[in-house]
Amino acid sequence: MTKRPVAIVTGGGTGIGAATAKALRSDGWDVVICGRRLAPLQSVADETGAFALVADASSEENLAHLVNTTIGKFGGLNGLVLNAGIVRAGPVGALSDGDWDDMVRTNLTGPFKLLRAAMPHLINSRGAIVGVGSVAALRATGEIPGYNATKAGLNMLLQSVAVDYGPQGVRANTVCPGWVRTEMANMEIQEYGASLGLDREQAYARATSFVPSRRPATASEVADVIAWLLSPKASYVNAAVIPVDGGMIAGDPGSIALDPRINFSSF
């Protein structure tokens, strides 16, 4: 019997991570999901058959345990999804050292340490890595400089992995989502809508008014791209940074005011 491929998905209890676990399980993978909270992880595990493990993606000790447990249970590692991340708001002049350090530790240093722990196994399997970045890594989003910088750093970290380990068969790519309907985004969009007297759907519609697709993504739409990048169908895709943003970053901000399809009176 052919051995099933094995993947680790960080931040696998909610949002894009949970949707990725579901997509990979449907594609025949064994999946280990990790996160800080057991309850959402167990819910995803019960639904998908993934193996849940509580682990802090910023803790080197936890990450080593994650890799060792995966290898001990499944005998190998073929895919790694670096999805865990946090955001702390505030422009540079107001951002605290603690908030900056938290984002660097979780969004950049944690992935580096997990990559280092997992690399021997990924080399052995000629495996694939996908980082979950953000359009904020490609275009500066206001008042989240730490998030912008760490997600941009994740893009370059994985491109460096592709350059260094591509000759050994390892692929590393990044997806950069725009607005995605996740628990975190729903909270942010509701806060935004409340300030304008809008409900959630109205707020999403307004937030995506300038996106060519005119809507947010679902988590499964991003997960499908991740699953494809991990699969043999993407065997010659390496060091790519792929926007999954409905066309958001393709638009020219200077020409938006000239677009006759946009009703600015609604703003």
Q: CB atoms < 10 A from the CB of 11, how many?
A: 24
Q: Report whether 213 contacts 174 (CB < 8 A).
A: no
CA nearest to 138, candidates 248, 33, 267, 228 = 248
Out of 147, 165, 204, 236, the active site residue is: 147
Cα of first residue to Cα of last residue in the chain, in angstroms, is: 59
CA nearest to 34, candidates 65, 4, 5, 3 = 65
Strand boundaries in the chain, DSSP class E: 6-10, 30-35, 51-54, 79-82, 128-132, 171-177, 180-181, 217-218, 241-244
Q: Which residues are paired to 9 by β-bridges? A: 33, 81
Report the alpha-carbon distance of residue 108 to residue 82 in Å, rounded: 10
165 as an active site residue: the answer is no
User: Which residues neighbour 209 within 8 Å (Cβ) at sequence distance 6 or greater?
Assistant: 262, 267
DSSP-assigned letters across all residues of 150-179: HHHHHHHHHHHHHHHHGGGT-EEEEEEE-S
Is the sign of the CA dihedral 12, 230, 51, 119 positive or negative?
A: negative
Is the sign of the CA dihedral 146, 105, 126, 77 positive or negative?
A: negative
Residues acting as catalytic residues: 147
